[in-house]
Amino acid sequence: MLRVTELFRSIQGESTHAGRPCTFVRLTGCPMRCVWCDSEYTFAGGEHVSIDDVLSQVHTFGCNLVEVTGGEPLAQKEGFQLIRRLCDEGFEVLVETGGYVSTENLDERAKVILDVKCPASGEESSNHWPNLERLRSDKDEVKFVVADRDDWEYAQEIIARYQLLTGARAVLISPAWGLIDLEALAGWISSSGLDVRMQLQLHKYIWGAEARGV
Ligand code: SF4
């Protein structure tokens, strides 16, 4: 059984997959406490649902793209089984993980979107660094949520140290919602000349920051 907060169809809002129709499976629970977390409602509650029932609901939505997210989708060991079953059934599977749990046993067919927690998140010490060495340049993406200039400096340091520009399919720089001036961040990125991708959370611009299940 899995603890599931919500299951819905929408469009993918972040990453290089943004804008694509996508079914989301949002699992309950996260061991981290990022200060700017926008999904605290996943920390508790949720419904106990069997993997078979999750799969049948996913089928009813009719999207080939499925994102398993949270909370922290890898915090429940059954999350790994769900991802494998989705891959077995031919879905294109994205896993958006906060980077605390090892991705070592993740089904290799799944595509990883891996967060690196910057200092302003308060969770920098939770980063599981071997996950960065497992990223695959043809599939996996790495995301830095940046809340201030120090976070941007930190992101550049980690990008260089782990050679992420060649080691990952994309390096995503995402502004912490409401905490950073978008023009300033765009300026830092453009003047750096780094081949990273500034991304906005599309779903928040469409449905608002507080909307759930969209
Ligand atoms: S890892 Fe994600 S869900 Fe967990 S506290 Fe941080 S932002 Fe929230």
- Ligand 1 centroid distance, CA of 123 (Å): 9
Q: What share of the chain is helix, strand, coil (3-state, %, to 5)?
A: 35, 25, 45
- Ligand 1 centroid distance, CA of 194 (Å): 26
- Ligand 1 centroid distance, CA of 38 (Å): 8
* pLDDT of 152: 98
Radius of gyration of the chain (CA): 16
- Ligand 1 centroid distance, CA of 71 (Å): 6
Q: Which protein residue has the closest C-alpha to ligand 1 atom 7?
A: 37
Q: Which protein residue has the closest C-alpha to ligand 1 atom 5?
A: 33
- Dump strand ranges (E) for 118-181: 141-146, 170-175
Q: Which protein residue has the closest C-alpha to ligand 1 atom 8?
A: 37
* pLDDT of 111: 98
* pLDDT of 211: 84
pTM for the structure as a whole: 0.96
The token pair at 74 is 């890898």
**Nearest alpha carbon to residue 28 among 58, 78, 86, 73:** 73
Q: Say how far apart CA 7 and CA 59 lie, in whole Å.
A: 11
The token pair at 126 is 């939770």
pLDDT along the chain (214 residues), means of 10: 96 95 97 95 96 98 97 96 98 97 97 98 98 98 98 98 98 96 98 97 87 81
The ligand 1 atom at the shortest distance from the C-alpha of residue 43 is 3
Half-sphere exposure of 43 (CA within 13 A, CB side): 9
Q: Is residue 28 helix, strand or coil?
A: coil
Q: Ligand 1 pocket test: pick from 3, 72, 118 the residue with the most ligand atoms within 8 Å of its Cβ.
A: 72
Under 8 Å between Cβ of 141 and 14 = no
The ligand 1 atom at the shortest distance from the C-alpha of residue 33 is 5
The ligand 1 atom at the shortest distance from the C-alpha of residue 115 is 1
* pLDDT of 214: 78
AA letter at 139: K
Under 8 Å between Cβ of 25 and 4 = yes
Under 8 Å between Cβ of 29 and 76 = yes
Question: Parallel, antiparallel, or unpaired for β 21-27 and 111-116?
Answer: unpaired
Pocket of ligand 1 (CB under 6 A): 30, 32-34, 37, 39, 70-72, 98
The token pair at 122 is 């308060």
* pLDDT of 5: 97
